[in-house]
Structure formats: structure tokens, C-alpha cells
Structure 1
Amino acid sequence: MADYHLEASWNPVEGGSGRLTLTLFNLSSEPLSGFSLAYRSPTRIADTHVCDGASMRRQVASFHEFLPPEGLSIPAGGRWRFTVEGLADEPKHRTDGIKSACLTLGDGRRVAVGFGDLMLEGRDGGMAPPLLPPGQIEEPYALLPWPLSLGLKAGDLPSVLYPAEKTRPDAIKALSLLLALYQRLYPGEPAPFSLAAVKGGRAIRFVTESSIAAFAYELRFSAREIVLSSADAAGRHYGLISLAQLLHGARADRDVFKFPNFGTIADQPHHGWRGCHLDVAGQFYPVADVMRLIDILAWNKLNIFHWHLTDDEAWRLEIKAYPELTEASAKRRLDEALVPDFGDGQDARIGHYTQDDVRRIVAHAASLHVEVVPEIDIPGHSTAALSALPDLVDRQEPPDSYRSPQGYASNALNPAVEFTYEFLGKVFDEMVALFPGEYVHIGGDEVAEGAWLSSPLCKTLMEREGLAGTAALQSHFLKRIKTMLSERGKKLAGWNEVSRGGGVDRDGTLLMAWEKPDVGLALAEDGYDVVMSPGQVYYLDMAQSEAWAEPGASWAGFTPPERSYAYEAEAELPEALRDKIRGIQACIWSGNVASRAHFNRLVFPRLPAIAEAAWTPLTRKDWDRFAAIVRMWPVL
């Protein structure tokens, strides 16, 4: 048990942001004096605020440090309470409170501080509703996403499925990969596949059929065998996943779900890009967790893993040319330039991915027909890189000349510093060798309005190139970046702000519409290929109800699973522009993920819901059926 504990409560006030009350309990046997208190919270205190009973020493984004009144001593068993009025963000949920806390004692030692949820004063916050209805099925087959076409008759449950005689080695290997996937996801369950024939099982006969569309498959069932037809390895892979799902459901709930012994399934994905993004900068996820998430994506027939590797909080990718990036930013402490932030306790987690880690993860994903799209977030969200490599900074620019929406000072790579391009060229060289996919995601989001305008180097650049304003400077920067990527055989992907200030060449560019749904329409009209990822429906860090008790963020409102399931990205677009929609993507941001339990509460069942929206046409979706099946699906 911690010797110190911090409680926080919020009292809403009509017409204002309310009052935050913080109480530090001294549970130790000694008096406490000569200390400072630091904590992280997404409820940031505004520049203009009133603090009663303490003084704020420092604030960096969500990091806050307070000093007690001079001479204060908290006796053993006593407490210190102070209040703050003037918040930058009004809290909406219990998880908007303390994320981590510590004391710095007079002798320099740092001591962890326990903490609880943010308490709501003076009103009822409501109760968190159930995320799913009871569920109801008309056809007794456990398949997610639901297939394009299905006509089946249930029969006896086979003991196992195995390859028919004379099956080609490549098909047997594909079966073995699916067997291993299932055993990782459901380690306590009997195997759905055997590589050898088993009496009482049913044979799978693999057929290559060139007339079947790419990524599609057909399954024909009889009491004697199952015929899996596809034109390519991806279609075969998806067909095997469907067989594993059917057998899993029929075993897990025999009263409800059955296995077919007659009929057909004809299936193919609705969207080509069926993605899931994971932010590992705000919080580090061990390699095993990343690989398990990729397993879950594969089980849900998602095919893109968008890996957000850098941000203000940390740079998580080993770059051999610049070891300082991970040395400085993956290890964050109070006395360093990068203070502890989301996901870090007082002894900030040390975490980054070595290039060998990356190779393992990329190979693992490829074996499951999942492409890894790496992201380094530039030019904004670059506090970690700027802290590690001071030569990236225009030293004549005032250090706090602008602030990002998250509160970071001067956090964007400078387009007029030539070392910026030398640095990124070496980064791209190493990334190209690690990631074989066609895209590198370069971020491009949330550069603060007014960024670089106080930089003498940028003023000279703007005069020389005839540029006006931050957006035009970013466009100039990103055009150079796109050329650098093209020279290395890669295409540019980015967030929707890449289009601002003139944007970049539309050819070979893919943009993700995250701010709101109609941004996707505007991008498509402007000639860009688009992945729809609006925060209002596909951001899995958003709370799932407006109840105070529900965990999650709130900037995009709240998103119950049914809303994520029902949303149709194409519905916003006229017919003539629908071919510009490449697909859809869920996004997992780490700011509100305090534990494995929080992760699973926020991500599931919304991730499988988005997976079905990506694969299954609107006319084939059924929320009650989805709710009945998804309860059996794996979580992290």
C-alpha cells in the first residue's frame, strides 16, 4: 500500500468550468514537508486559473506539478487540501481525473502516490448502461463479420476439420497457421483443425478457382467434406477463419449455434482497407500485446494494422542512425525534458521497439494477411524528437511561441531547418527496410495555428517561396516529404489536415478523415483517396455512454457500440465519389487506457463492430445477431 494517496473531485459550476478539489492523504508514520506533488490528468488546468491552498510550479500538457504553502507540514494521518478554478477542459467521466501521481521529497527522492477515480460533486452522474442487448439470431451460425451470401442447413458437429488427401503443402501450411492462431486466441479450447485425417472429423478440400474475386472465398458443405474455393491465398485464409469460427460457436453454445453439413457460403470484403490503429507513443504496449492485437484483427478479418510509433510523448521505434530518439523519449522522468505522461507511473516506463522486434511483428502480421502501416507523426506532435535532437530547432525562435491543442510548446518540426530533411531521410531509409507495405503514414495532424511564424528561418522561407501562414508552410514541408518517400518506393498516407494549405499531389496519397464525417466528403471531392475514421464513431478511446461512470474521452461525444456498428461511411458520399473511399479504420488512442480492463472495455465490442461494418454490406448487417455472436469473441 502507498504511504500517500491523492483524491480528486470536481464540482460543476453554472457558466464556468467548475472547481477541482485535490486532497493528499499522508498515510505514513512520519510528517510530510518540503515536497512537491506531481500528477497527470487529461483535465488540464488553464493558463488563467485561481489556486487556493497551493501554487502551480509547472505544467506540460497533462502533467501538473504543485507546491504546498511555504512551511506546510502534513502530520502522520493528516491531509492537505487545495482547490483550483479555471480548467482548460471540463471533465465528463470518472476517468478524466488522475492518471498517475508522485511526490518529490526534500531529499530528492520520488515516492509513488495512490489515487482513485475523479469524483463528481453535487449531482447524479447516472449509471453506465450495458454495451450489448441480449442478442437474437435467425440463422444459427457463429460468423463475424457476417458473409455476403449464406444458405446452409445444420447437421452433425464434426470432431475436427482436416485437409483432404493430396492437399498441396501450401494449403496445409495455411491450415497450420490458422490452427496456431486459434490456439493463441482460445488456449483452453479443443483445436478446430488437425493436419492429419481423423475419424469422425470432416475433410477440407482446397480448390483454386480463378473466377472468384481477389480476397473472396466460397465454402460448399456436405456430410462428407467441405470444399474451400478461392483465387488467392488471402481468400483461402478468410475461408479458414470462417470455418474456425463456425466450429468454435457450435462447440461453445450447442443450444444456439450449429455447424452446417449442407449448403454454401459465398463471401468477399466490402472494403479493401479494413484497419485498426494503435497508439504506442502515449502508452507502450509490449511486443506480446501488439502481436495478440494483430491476432484479434485477423480473427475479425481486418487487414491493416496502423502502428502509431511516435508522438509528443515518446519515440518508440529504434533508429540506428539516431539512438538518442529512443534513449531520450522512451525513458521519461520528472527531471528530463520529456516529463511522464499517459501510461506512465512515477518511474516512467522504459519502452521502445527494436528493429528485431519490428521484423517479428511485421512477419507475424504478414502470415495472417495483415499489412503493417507505420506512422511517424510529423511535423506536429514532435516534442519527443525535438527533445532528443536539438539541431532540429531554429534556435532564434522563441521556445514557447505557440502551443499544440494538447498544450505542448513549439512541438512541430521546422520546415526551414535543413537538418529536418536529413534527419527524416535517414529515418525513412531505415523504415523502408523494416516495413514492406506500400504506405508510410506521416501524420500531418494538429499543427497549431501560428506554428513557425516566429521562426526567423521560416520567415525567410516564406518570403523566398511566396508562402503565407502555417498551413502553406506545412504543405511546402509535406510536398518535400512526399518526394522523399516516392524516391524510396513508398506512398504517403496521413491524417486529413495534410490537405490544408494546398495539400500534396493527390496521386499516390491516402488521407484518413478523423475530425468528422463530412471531412471525408470534402477530401473525396478534392480528389484524395480516403479512409473514413471519424472520431464520432470509430475512435475507440471515446466513452460509450454519457454516464459519469463510463470510462473514456469525450471530445467527440460518446459512442455506443451500436452507433459504431450502424455507421456507413459511404452514405455520406454521392455515387460518383464512392470509389474514392478506400475503406474504414478504428483508432485506439492510449490517453484513457489506464489498465488492461479499461482497454478491453473501450475496444470491445466496438472493434468487431467496425470490422463487420468494413466487411459486410449494409443490407446484410443485423445488430441483434451481432450482439449474440460477439460475446464469444476474444479480447486482449
Structure 2
Amino acid sequence: MQPVSYRLESAWQPEGGPKGRLTFVLFNLSELPLSGFRLVYTSLTRVVDPAACQNATFLRRNANFHEFAPPEGLVLARGESWTFSVSGLNREARHCTDGAKSAYLTLSDGRHVPVAVSDLRLEGATSEPPPARLPEGRVGLPFALQPWPAKIDAVAGEGLPDVLFPAAGSSAEDMEAIDNVLALHHRLFPAGHAPFSLAPSGQGRPIVFAKSGELGGEAYRLAFSGREIRLEYGQAAGRQYGLTTLAQLLDGARRHAARFRFPAAGTIADQPRYGWRGCHLDVARQFYPTADVMRLIDILAWFKLNVFHWHLTDDEAWRLEIKAFLTLTTLGVMRGPDEPLLPQLGNGAAPVGGFYAQEEVKAIVAHAAALNVEVVPEIDIPGHSTAALVALPELADGQEAPESYHSVQGYPNNALNPAVPFTYEFLEKVFDEMVALFPSRYVHVGGDEVANGSWLASPLARKLMEVQGISGTFALQSHFLKKVKQMLTARGRKLVGWNEVAHGGGVGTEDTLLMAWENPRVGIELAREGYDVVMTPGQAYYLDMAQADAWQEPGASWAGTATPEHTYAYEAEGEFPEELKSRMKGVQACIWSEHFLSRDYFNRLVFPRLPAIAEAAWTPKAQKDWLRFAAIAPLGPML
């Protein structure tokens, strides 16, 4: 490890400005004096008033990228520091992760050198530690199951079988299903005792498989006795879920024998509450290697989630290889001081990139399919498209003023222009390659957070609006998305989008699925308009939200805090009028990656809330039990 040459400390004070004040202290720990430099840091707490800056000159900002110059002639000898503050902020800081996420210096000779950063300190108030996320919990029935089944009437045994194995006469498909869940367990718990064996064992218990036309495709029934276990299932997914239940039961009873048991007799009759049981992952803000994506899919399968929503593009990067436009994954992924995209959200002096080659995508899709997980790809359009516009400048109207509008995240002119003919040529070719890679019935096209005022300074857009009789940004967005929907329909795909797809007139409701994220009421409004809906409100199901109000609790705060108990207890269906409940297709967790700069932060924020949402997606409301969940949740896998 290289010694730190420079460190940036930051603190937030509630006083000192309308949204408080950030104070930064740069320490020179190098051997040489420091002068003639510029300081860059990235932060979600953005400076919106450049004049409200003390003892520094504000040079520029691009979204979360901030650049400052020190006072003229400042020289820092070894061990000396420079202090400056900014008070023109976009919001108050609420958590330790609201300060600088990365920093670097640009020296007088043009070199960029890294600067170490620490979490944001709170001054002028008490910095409370976060509370415990889970109580100790309690179990009525001593079975380690996540999510809890719909019906269980089982008696705990004193002992447990060494392994479970396929009974004589089992089909090759049954044996392959056992092997698949055994491999899943090995990947998630490499040091754990194998729950299954393909070979019979005198210390084990056979599984008798029986396909049943009476059961739904994802349903299963288990009957336990001292002689055998009978597993009835509807389709392959139900068989997998039944085997996963057996693996969880045996794993829990073996690893935590003081608390959990394996059934000696009785039954489990189980099926999911919702058809759409999803988890989203944003790989644009931070890049996740293929192995991490596959492990997350393994975790989804362990918790009986069946949709992996893959957020592949955003302002910060375009991560999907498109062979028709290779600059998307050369220019459109590189962030750094001298790269096409400026550093954001934890990037510093070292350039960073990363994308998924099409062969990697095929491997991930195949891995998911083997676990009955459907991969739904997302390219976020028309907004959140800075990376695409940098990679393909011909997508822009060259006559449009360069900063005529800004997104809520601070990106200038970041939306694909509906009046540029190349926009549609581009999307046709992108969709052609996507449908060849992703067999899912769905393609998610984003449609969220287009800034009001977008395109209004574009002569091409103004002309299109005049010709079409369109008024305003959102009517123009509707015009654009209707064309996108036609493209997808022609390719045999259904359009999925965030709830703003309905703005400005929306798109046709048939074969359209919208995700309600802004608040729970939005989902009900969409259902009234005739849309099918997946509920993913930020107030309960966004896993980047902080889990407590305490300063030391990491995460975002725009939707408030979402404790694990709140996430577990939230009932999306309970707010729907009875006549609209058929429109609600399921629920979904969303993992936005702005705050996930380390695996530790990922695991801290995602778990135990992801299995809490999995239980909301699977388990009937009457069978949910917070204290039981709290007792079992620590047994689950993490990334």
C-alpha cells in the first residue's frame, strides 16, 4: 500500500448557509511543498451557488464533479493544511456518506494525483451511532426458511439427515435439478455441508419427485416422513423452489442447531404471492464484475426472486456492448480527469471504465435462466443519456445551447433529442442487438427524470413540436416513447419503464408495465389509467436509502429512511383499491449504486432488506412475522 501524500477531511455544520455549510481541510503529507494546484472532489451534496465559497475559487461543476483553486500564491509545506468552505448547497447533509466520495489534485505540471478522503463529519450537533438494524428475534416453528412459505404444518425432528438424495427411479431432469441447487448452495456457502448428494446414502433421506398438474408453475408441496420426502411441483421453477426450501432447512438446522431443526413429519404447501418478484441493480454508477453479477443472481434465486432488472446505462456510463456503436463502450464508459467523462461518485485521479461484452451478457443470461431468474435489461432513455451523447455526438442537435437545461442530478443537456433522426436509427440498431442477447419478454427503457424544459432550446425540437402540435417537454417525451414502443412491439417485446413514462400523454397501456418509484400513490394512479404496475417505492424498496436517521448510518435520504422493519412491514397491495389489485403485478427491490463504493457498504445497505422484500413478494400477509424474520435473516448469504 502506497503511503497517503494528501488527505481531504470534510465536515458539515447546520449553520452557515440556507442548507448548512461544508468545510474542507486539505493536508499536505508529502515531502514536497504544494502550490499551483487545483482540487477536485466528487459529492452528492452539490454546490449550486459558486459565489458562496470562502477561501477558494470555484472553477466548475459537472453533476457531482467539483473543481476548486486555492487562493493565489498559496504554498503548503509538509504537514500544513488549507481550509475552505462552501455554503451554497443543493441540500442539507444528513449522513456520513454525504461528503466527498473521492478527490484528487491537478498539479502545476498537469499531473493528477490521488487524495485520500474520509466520511463526512458532523459539527455543531451530536453524531449519533446507528441503532441495531435487527432485534434478536424469535421463532415459533424452528425452521430456517426465507421467504416463509404460504402454509407450513410440520413437526421438528430431534436429528437430521446427513444428506438428501434422489429416490430410485428419479428422472434425469430431477437429478439435474438437485445438482443445480447443490451447486447454488456450494457457491453461496463454500464451507457449508452439502445438503444434497446424487448418490444414495444410508445416513440420508430420499426425495421422491412427482409432477402435479394441479399446482401452478412456481408452486410446490413437500411431505416429510422418517422414510422419505415427497416433492410435488407444478413446473421446473416449482421443483427448484422446493429443493431450495429443503436446502435452507437442512443448512439452517446444521449450522445453527441450537435454534433450528429439520422437519420429522408434516407438510409445506407453497406458492408465490406475486408473479413479479424483482431486484434491480444499477451498474452504471459503479461497475460490478461479471462474477459479482452472477453471485447477486444466485442470491436472488436463494430467496426465490425471479426477475433481475439490469440497469445497464445512465449518465455515468453505458455498460452494454453494442457492436454497431463500439464507442458506447470506449468513450461512453471511461471516467477520469482526462477521459471523455469526468470523474463521478467515487472516481478520482485514476481512469475507470468497465462494460459487459456480449459473450459475458450471454453467460449471465444463461446463468440466470438455469435458476429460473428472468433478466430484464434496461437502457435509460431519453434522459440519463450523457454517456451515450458523449460517445455519439451526432445524437445531439448541434444548434442547441450547450447548457440549456440540467437534470435533477446536475447533468447538462442529457436527454436524447426526439427531433434528431439519428436518434431512431441508433435505437433501432441497439434494440436489434438487445433482443438477440436477452430472451426476456420485456425491455426496460427508463423514461424517468427528464428535466422540464429539455429540448426547448433545440431548433430541431421546436420545429417538430410545431409540426406535430406538441406543447412542452413531456408531450414531446410521449411522442418519443410511442415511437420506442412501436420499435419494441415490432420485435416482440413489451415496454417497461419508470412511472414518468405516463407523463405528457404516456404510451398505450396494452403490453406496457410501469414501475412506481416516486411514492406509493403513483402506482394506484397508474393502475387507474390502465397500466399494469410493479411497486418499487423509494420510501420502502430502494436499498440505497439510509436505514436510520443517525448521522453514522450510510446511504441516501431523499425518500427519508427505510429501516429493515419498515421495509418488511410495507404492504404495497394494501393501499390498492380492490378493483385495481389485478393491475399490481408484483414488487421489486432497487439497488442504486451512488453510495456503494465498497462491498461492505453494499452488504450493509442491501441486507437484510433484500430478503425482507423477497418475503413481501412471496409470503402471504397473514404469514409474515417480523420477529421470526429477524431471527432467520442473519443466516442468509451476502455479496
TM-score by shorter chain over 0.5: yes
Change in CA separation of 1:343 and 1:277 when aligned onto 2, cut-off 3 Å: farther
Q: How does 1:305-316 map to 2 (within 5 A)?
A: 305-316=308-319
The Cα of 1:14 is off from its aligned counterpart by: 7.8
Q: Aligned AA for 2:125?
A: R
- Post-superposition CA distance 1:584-606 (Å, at most 9, x none): 00000011112111000000000
- 1:227-276 residue CA offsets vs partner (Å, 9 max, x unmatched): 10012101001000000000011001111111012110000000000000
Counterpart of 2:400 (choices 367, 385, 397) is 397
In the alignment, the residues of structure 2 paired with residue 122 and residue 476 of structure 1 have an alpha-carbon distance, to the nearest angstrom, of: 51
State the Cα deviation string for residues 315-349 of structure 1 (Å, max 9, x = none): 00000000001101221111234101124232132
Q: Which residue, out of 185, 188, 196, partners 1:185?
A: 188
CA contact (8 A) 2:17 2:88 kept: no
What's the CA shift string for 1:583-628, capped at 9, x where partnerless?
Answer: 0000000111121110000000000000000000110000000000
**Structure 2 counterpart of 1:420, from 416, 419, 423:** 423
Name the counterpart of 1:146: 148
Q: Which residue of 2 aligns with 1:104?
A: 106
Shift of 1:403: 0.3
Aligned to 2:548: 545
For residue 53 of structure 1, report the CA deviation from its aligned partner.
1.0
SS in 2 for 1:468: coil
One-letter identity of the residue aligned with 2:525: A
Write the distance in 2 (CA, Å) between the matches of 1:215 and 1:182.
20
The CA deviation at 1:214 is 2.1
Q: What secondary structure, in the 3-state scheme, does the structure 2 residue paired with 1:87 have?
A: coil
Match of 1:167 in 2: 170
Superposed, 1:251-330 pairs within 5 Å as 251-330=254-333
- Name the counterpart of 2:539: 536
Say if 1:343 and 1:593, in contact at 8 Å, map to a contact too. no
The aligned counterpart of 1:373 is: 376
Which stretch has the larger CA shift, 80-89 or 173-182? 80-89
Q: Which runs of 4+ in 1 moved over 6 A?
A: none
Q: Deviations over 1:406-449 (max 9, x none)?
A: 00000000000010000011000000000000000000000000
Tell me what 2:609 maps to: 606
Deviation at residue 99 of structure 1 after TM alignment:
0.7
Contact 1:282–1:343 (8 Å) recurs in 2: no
Q: Please tell me the residue identity of whatever aligns with 1:129.
A: P
- For 1:89-238, list aligned pairs within 5 A: 89-155=91-157, 156-238=159-241
Q: Secondary structure at the match of 1:173?
A: helix
The alpha carbon displacement at 1:69 in A equals: 1.4
SS in 2 for 1:275: strand
CA shift, 1:18, in A, is: 1.2
- 1-structure distance, mates of 2:285, 2:125: 32
Unaligned stretches of 5+ residues in structure 1: none
CA–CA distance in structure 2, aligned partners of residues 621 and 49 of structure 1: 53
Aligned counterparts of 2:334 and 2:431: Cα–Cα separation in 1: 23
Match of 2:42 in 1: 40
Equivalent in the alignment of 1:80: 82
CA distance in 2, matches of 1:214, 1:593: 36
Q: String of CA shifts for 1:558-587, please: whole Å, max 9, x gaps.
A: 000010100111111111100000000000
Aligned equivalents of 1:49, 1:631: Cα separation in 2: 49
Which residue identity does 1:304 align to in structure 2?
V
- Does the 8 Å contact 2:214/2:234 carry over to 1? yes
* Alpha-carbon distance, 1:101 to partner: 0.6
Give how far 1:50 is off: 1.3
Report if aligned partners of 1:26, 1:32 keep a CA contact under 8 Å in 2. Answer: yes
- Residues 17 and 87 of structure 2 are in contact (CA less than 8 Å); yes or no, is this contact kept in structure 1? no
Q: 1:486 aligns with which of 470, 485, 489?
A: 489
Match status 1:246 vs 2:249: yes
> 2: CA distance between counterparts of 1:179 and 1:349?
36
- Per-residue CA shift, 1:4-33, capped at 9, x if unaligned? 000011111287211111110000111001
Task: Give yes or no for the alignment of 1:24 onto 2:26.
Answer: yes
What secondary structure is seen at the aligned counterpart in 2 of 1:162? strand
Q: What stretches of structure 2 of length at least 5 have no aligned partner?
A: none
Q: Tell me the TM-score normalised to structure 1 length.
A: 0.99
Distance in 1 of aligned mates of 2:478 and 2:110: 46
User: Which SS does the other structure have where 1:461 is aligned?
Assistant: helix
Letter in 2 for 1:367: A
| Distance in 1 (alpha carbons) for counterparts of 2:27 and 2:562 | 36
Distance (Å, rounded) in 2 between the aligned partners of 1:526 and 1:194: 52
> Using the alignment, how far apart are the partners of 2:26 and 2:142 within structure 1?
56
How many angstroms apart in 2 are the aligned matches of 1:570 and 1:58? 46
CA separation in 2, counterparts of 1:346 and 1:608?
A: 37
Question: What code does the residue aligned with 1:124 have?
Answer: T
Q: Which amino acid aligns with 2:48?
A: A
Q: CA deviation at 1:127?
A: 2.0
Query: If the length of structure 2 is used for normalisation, what is the TM-score?
Result: 0.99
In 1, the alpha carbon distance for the partners of 2:213 and 2:301 equals 24
1:375·1:442 contact (CA, 8 Å) conserved in 2?
yes
2:446 alignment counterpart = 443
Query: What secondary structure does 2:308 align onto?
Result: strand
Supply the distance in 2 between the matched residues of 1:316 and 1:55 (Cα, whole angstroms).
Answer: 35
User: Could you tell which deviates more after superposition, 148-157 or 582-591?
Assistant: 148-157
Q: Distance in 1 between matches of 2:349 and 2:559?
A: 30
Q: What letter corresponds to residue 393 of structure 1 in structure 2? A: A
Distance 2:410 2:356 in 1: 27
Secondary structure at the aligned position of 2:366 is classed as helix
Aligned equivalents of 1:422, 1:47: Cα separation in 2: 40
2-side partners of 1:273 and 1:318: how far apart? 27
Structure 1 counterpart of 2:559: 556
Contact 2:444–2:497, Cα closer than 8 Å, also in 1 = yes
Secondary structure, counterpart of 2:49 in structure 1 = strand
Amino acid at match of 2:249: L
Q: Which amino acid aligns with 2:18?
A: G
1:498 is aligned to 501
User: Alignment partner of 1:607: what SS?
Assistant: helix
In the alignment, does 2:621 pair up with 1:621? Answer: no
| Aligned match of 1:585 | 588
Q: Secondary structure at the match of 2:118?
A: strand
1:575 lines up with 2:578 in the alignment: yes
- CA-atom RMSD in angstroms: 0.9
The answer as to whether partners of 2:42 and 2:347 remain within 8 angstroms in 1 is no
Q: Partner residue of 2:516?
A: 513
Which whole-Å deviations, capped at 9, do the CAs of 1:184-234 have from their partners, x for residues lacking one? 000001100001101110000110110112210000011011010012101
CA contact (8 A) 1:45 1:89 kept: no
Q: Evaluate the alpha carbon distance shift between residue 15 and residue 97 of structure 1 in structure 2; reply closer, same or farther with a 3 A threshold.
A: closer
Quick one: which amino acid aligns to residue 396 of structure 2? Answer: V
The alignment partner of 1:102 has SS state of strand
Letter in 2 for 1:369: N
Amino acid at match of 1:407: G
Query: What's the secondary structure of 2:88's corresponding residue?
Result: strand
CA distance in 2, matches of 1:513, 1:452: 25
Distance 1:343 1:33, change over 3 A: closer
Residues 618 and 14 (structure 1), Cα distance of their counterparts in 2 relative to 1, 3 Å cut? farther
The CA distance in 2 between the partners of 1:123 and 1:441, in whole Å, is 43
